[in-house]
């Protein structure tokens, strides 16, 4: 039996995340390495509809194993989206230690890494509404699983990788809050 509400919620979460990926990450070139894997359809999207972070960790474990075993020419990266889990950024930030533990437990540290994004992402030393924070803001709490080898290859191809963050801050400051709003990046209500 198919749970149509869960299917619809999953579809919405993926669509909203893809809008963010295309409009902000690729569209604003916030990550110069993203376009190639997006265009080649090498991104896997998985959704955890639970409110319990422990369920998200189960999915994380499964997806880290899946990505590590997948052909890197077919699957380069995975986005784990949890629309109902950890709406508070500080709780989410604390949760990242458990994510690192899963990575180490699977002996995949140095092979894969977990990057984090959140609708209320806030860098230390910034105020909540600072546009700088939007470099890491997504419609829903999201974990991004990346291959270390892909990162190494991308950094070789982009010699000034250390300048990406500074460039992103400049882009967002030029764009401003009104420009960000025009990108249409938002979370829809998911049942």
Kindly report, residue by residue over 48-84, the tens digit of the pLDDT: 999 999 999 999 999 999 999 999 999 999 999 999 9
Phi and psi at 121, nearest 5°, equal -50, 140
Mean pLDDT of 25-29: 94
Q: What is the pLDDT of residue 101?
A: 98
Overall pTM > 0.85: yes
Of 160 and 174, the structure prediction assigns the larger pLDDT to 174
Three-state secondary-structure class, residue 32: coil
Whole-number pLDDT of residue 191:
66
Residue 159 has pLDDT above 80, yes or no: no
Q: In the chain, pLDDT over 90 holds for what percent of residues?
A: 82
Element (H, E) at 85: none
Instruction: Tell which phi-psi region holds residue 21, choosing left (phi > 0), alpha (psi between -120 and 50) or beta.
Output: alpha
- Give tens-digit pLDDT for 96-140: 999 999 999 999 999 999 999 999 999 999 999 999 999 999 999
Under 8 Å between Cβ of 46 and 78:
yes
3-state helix, strand, coil in the chain (%, to 5): 55, 10, 35
pLDDT band at 158 (very low <50, low <70, confident <90, very high): confident
């Amino acid at each position: 039996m198919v749970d149509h509400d869960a299917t619809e919620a999953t579809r919405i979460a993926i669509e909203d995340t893809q809008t963010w990926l295309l409009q902000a990450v690729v569209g604003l070139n916030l990550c110069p390495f993203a376009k190639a894997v997006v265009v080649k359809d090498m991104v896997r999207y998985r959704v955890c509809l639970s409110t319990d972070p422990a369920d998200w960790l189960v999915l994380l474990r499964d997806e880290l194993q899946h990505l590590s075993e997948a052909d890197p020419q077919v699957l380069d990266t995975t986005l784990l989206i949890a629309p109902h889990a950890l709406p508070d950024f500080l709780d989410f930030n604390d949760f990242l230690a458990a994510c690192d533990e899963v990575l180490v437990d699977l002996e995949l540290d140095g092979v894969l890494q977990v990057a984090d994004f959140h609708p209320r992402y806030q860098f230390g030393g910034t105020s909540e509404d600072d546009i700088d924070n939007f470099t890491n803001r997504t419609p829903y709490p999201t974990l991004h699983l990346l291959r270390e080898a892909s990162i190494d290859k991308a950094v070789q191809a982009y010699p000034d990788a250390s300048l990406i963050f500074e460039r992103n801050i400049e882009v967002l400051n030029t764009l401003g809050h009104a420009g960000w709003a025009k990108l249409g990046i938002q979370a829809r209500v998911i049942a």
